Amino acid sequence: MFDALSERLEQAWTKLRGQDKISESNVKDALREVRRALLEADVNLQIVKDFVAEVEQKALGAEVVQGVRPDQQFIEVVYNELVQVMGEANVPLAEAPSKPTIVLMAGLQGTGKTTASAKLALHLRKEERTTLLVATDVYRPAAIDQLVALGKQINIPVFELGTSADPVEIARQGVEKARADGFDVVIVDTAGRLQIDQEMMGELARIKETIQPHETLLVVDAMTGQEAANLTRTFHDQIGITGAILTKLDGDTRGGAALSVRRISGQPIKFVGVGEKVDALQPFYPDRMASRILGMGDVLTLVEKAREEVDMAEAEKMQEKILSAKFDFTDFLKQTRLLKNMGSLGGIMKLIPGMGKLSSEQLEQGETQLKKAEAMIGSMTVQERKDPDILSSSPSRRRRVAKGSGYGEREVSELVTNFQRMRTMMQQMGQGNFPGMGGMPGM
């Protein structure tokens, strides 16, 4: 999926490779490639313009981090921006405070609306929510039969009144039946046309007005590219959508539609269709989509590596501090947070040769110690964190810290003593002497 787009973007940042920082002149080429890539992927022109402008601003504003290559930094900016455009997090289907949650399906004919209705019902069953499907497409030959057949296949009931009833009336009665029978969700499938026409919009608006849905989902065929932007605008302006389902992402599609829908409607894509089978529906994850657009796998590792390198730069700074005995409680806190970001202490220890042998009891003890230390440091003033020595000479300061953190005075004294001992030890290590480890937990 999105092959062309990822190739273009790949080219964009190879141009940045070998440069030593992102500047207005060297980012220009990369931005031009991003722009071309998105246009070729049929992303709406205005969205491309906005996107590129934002990426440029952020790329130029990005703090140049020592050890991070500008192309890596640029990738991260493009990736983050893509994720943001597409909505950042997955937004699940709404759940009404009282049953049933009413879902209205809208979209053009052939986009996969009927299939998506059945897929959604099946998905909801996995969440232990019961669904009634309602067939209102009285125009397309066999549309009702199609939904009935799909319903049978997955054992989900379908409400219909044949092809001579009024669609608005079918919808109304369908929702009523769902309420009476205690269904959790009712999904109303509606008629699609080959193009947007006023008559169809009018009917859809009347159905919406009548059943007052909690969700109005626009079903968008991912293969329509540029058209997805206009389609979204029309439906959102005239009907008002609360989300979208992007279908046929398994095909030879481009990324354009995914970018356009959220940007134009401000509403999230909630699911993606990835095949003709009824179980081929997945929740939409903006970060995964961004990864796919960028031909990630590789890129994600690159971004991760870039982050690691940021940590390396940080570590170098820290090392300098240690050697010059400027390491203080603030640095200590930073280090423990860094450790925490990387996972549990136990998990990290396993990666260090020799340390994996620590018993789980010892590890647990280490984690408790760290938490304790963190609480006590949290109760210190900036000055005390900078200069732990003032704590060793002032019982009243230690008392205050003890009170603030909920630990005893003796524990605060211990923390300070251990910290000082550790600092001395680290200094000695920096000078090439390696006294036995001990003292500070997790260090």
Report the distance separating Cα 220 and Cα 137, nearest Å.
Answer: 18
- Minimum CB distance to ligand GDP smaller for 268 or for 273: 273
> CA 215, CA 102: separation in Å to the nearest integer?
6
**CB 197 to ligand GDP: min, Å:** 15
Name every residue whose Cβ is closer than 8 Å to that of residue 225 and which is 6 or more positions away in sequence: 41, 42, 43, 253, 254, 256, 257
The reply, when asked if residue 190 is annotated as ligand binding, is yes
Among 18, 92, 110, 182, binds ligand GDP (CB under 6 A): 110
Asked if residue 112 belongs to a known ligand binding site, the reply is yes
**Per CB under 6 A, 113 contacts ligand GDP:** yes
Q: Which stretch binds ligand GDP (CB under 6 A): 74-82, 103-111, 317-325, 413-421?
A: 103-111
Q: How far is the CB of 253 from ligand GDP (least distance, A)?
A: 9
3-state SS record for 199-222: HHHHHHHHHHHHHCCCEEEEEEEH
User: Where would I find the H helices in 268-386?
Assistant: 286-293, 298-323, 329-341, 345-351, 360-378, 382-386
Among 70, 192, 255, 388, binds ligand GDP (CB under 6 A): 192
- For residue 265, give both structure tokens: 């409607």
Of the listed pieces 81-89, 111-119, 312-320, 336-344, which binds ligand GDP according to CB under 6 A? 111-119
Query: Residue 257 in contact with residue 2, Cβ under 8 Å?
Result: no
Give the shortest CB-146-to-ligand GDP separation in angstroms.
6
* Minimum CB distance to ligand GDP smaller for 111 or for 291: 111
Q: Which is nearer to ligand GDP, 192 or 213 (CB)?
A: 192
Decide: is 153 part of the binding site for ligand GDP (CB under 6 A).
Answer: no
Task: Report in angstroms how near the CB of residue 119 gets to ligand GDP at its nearest.
Answer: 8
- Residue 230 burial by CB count (10 A; 0-12/13-18/19+): exposed, middle or buried? middle
Q: How far apart are CA 5 and CA 38, in angstroms?
A: 7
Q: Is 234 annotated as a binding residue?
A: no
Q: Is residue 11 classed exposed, middle or buried when 0-12, 13-18 and 19+ CB atoms within 10 A define those classes? A: middle
Report which residue type is found at 408.
G
Residue 302 corresponds to which amino acid? L
Q: Which stretch binds ligand GDP (CB under 6 A): 106-114, 125-133, 201-209, 256-264?
A: 106-114
Run of H or E including 34: helix 24-40
- Interface with ligand GDP (CB under 6 A), residue from 274, 370, 373, 412: 274
> Do the annotations mark residue 107 as ligand-binding?
yes
Asked whether residue 193 is marked as a ligand-binding residue, the answer is yes
**191: annotated binding-site residue?**
yes
Q: Smallest gap, in angstroms, from Cβ of residue 113 to ligand GDP?
A: 3
Size, binding site for ligand GDP by CB under 6 A: 18
**How many of the other CB atoms lie within 10 Å of CB of 45?**
12
Question: Of the ranges 91-99, 179-187, 270-278, 424-432, which one interacts with ligand GDP (CB under 6 A)?
Answer: 270-278
At 76 the three-state DSSP class reads: helix
Report the residue number, 105 or 376, with the smaller CB distance to ligand GDP: 105
**Is 216 labelled as part of a ligand binding site?**
no
Closest distance of CB 259 from ligand GDP, Å: 18
Write the DSSP string, 257-299.
HHHHHHHHHS--EEEEE-SSSTT-EEE--HHHHHHHHTTTTHH
Measured from the CB atom, the residue of 12 and 274 that comes closer to ligand GDP is: 274
Smallest distance, ligand GDP to C-beta of residue 293, A: 18
HSE, side-chain direction, 13 A CA sphere, residue 14: 6
Decide: is 273 part of the binding site for ligand GDP (CB under 6 A). Answer: yes
| The only residue of 3, 95, 176, 276 in contact with ligand GDP, by rule CB under 6 A | 276
Asked whether 183 and 101 are in contact (CB, 8 A), the reply is no
Our finding on whether 283 is near ligand GDP (CB under 6 A) is: no
By CB under 6 A, the residues from 217 to 256 that bind ligand GDP are: 247-248, 250-251
Written as six digits, the tokens of 88 are 């950042």
* For ligand GDP, the closer CB: 109 or 210: 109
* Structural contact between residues 2 and 41, judged by C-beta atoms closer than 8 angstroms: yes
In the bound state with ligand GDP, the residue whose beta carbon lies nearer, of 30 and 122, is 122
Q: Does 267 bind ligand GDP (CB under 6 A)?
A: no
Amino acid (1-letter code) at residue 10: E
Q: Is 109 annotated as a binding residue?
A: yes
Instruction: For residue 4, give the 3-state DSSP assignment.
Output: helix
The distance of closest approach from Cβ of residue 200 to ligand GDP in the complex, given in angstroms and rounded to an integer, is 12
Query: Binding site membership: which residues?
Result: 107-114, 189-193, 247-250
Q: State the binding site for GTP.
A: 107-114, 189-193, 247-250
The site for ligand GDP (CB under 6 A) is made up of: 107, 109-115, 192, 247-248, 250-251, 273-276, 280
